[in-house]
Amino acid sequence: MKVRAVLLSFLLSACATGGEGDVPAAGGGSGSLGGSGGGTATGGTAGSGGGSGGLAGSSGSGGLSGSGGLGGSAGAAGAGGATACSTTTTCQAPTDLGSMSGDSGSDTQQIQGTESEWFRIRVTEDNHSVIGHALQLSASVDVPADADIDVYAYVNVDQDASPCGLSPYAKADAGGIGANETLDVKWGDGLTGSGNDDSRDVLLQVVHKGGACSTAWSINLVANP
């Protein structure tokens, strides 16, 4: 009997210990619920993703446009050069002064004007002897005391054609204000006659370079001086 009592006591003790072991098993179940909680945490991460999307929307708004730069100030205009007196005639349409013999007699002519002018003179060859005689024309310019007048002569010595567009054949531009000017034009035969007609058109360009444009000038022409 005493032995049975001991065995019974042992079995009861063992059963009591096994019951206490069931409690941790329940605790294991709680751990499973904790896993579900982890799933909820994943949902929270998705919510954060939505927040990031919201930031992207803010970035999409247009930035402020930049204000235009100030325009540069205009540069100062350059000082203009001296204005020459105007002219109503041109190299292509000069005032016609008729003709003068360049190798016979001593034709003279005086021209007057204001401002700048172009003139044309037909200088003819009239001496056809075997002894050469060049054609000549001289011009004396009377310049007012308060003006500067220059004269340029143009001749096409190579052919009987307009010298318009050629360089000046002779110049009278050495003086300044109030200085009279002279020029001489000579072409054609040498020591002997060439046998060709050396008659030519002579263009005279009068340039009113200084002084009042209304100031009058005069030019004395002498052919075969």
CA quadruple 224, 159, 181, 206: dihedral sign: positive
Question: With 80 as the cut, is the pLDDT of residue 91 above it?
Answer: yes
The CA distance from 9 to 222, in Å, is: 171
For the chain, list the domains and their CATH numbers. 95-223 (2.60.120.380)
In terms of pTM, does the model score above 0.85? Answer: no
Distance CA 90, CA 168 (A): 15
Nearest CA among 182, 187, 156 for reference residue 171:
182
**pLDDT of the residue at 54:** 37
In angstroms, the Cα distances linking 164 to 109, 110, 116, 185, 222 are 22, 23, 16, 16, 22
Angle at Cα 155 formed by Cα 207 and Cα 136, nearest 5°?
Answer: 100
| 162-203 confidence digits (pLDDT tens) | 999 999 999 999 889 999 999 999 999 776 667 789 999 999
- The DSSP-derived string for 146-160 is T-EEEEEEEE-SSSS
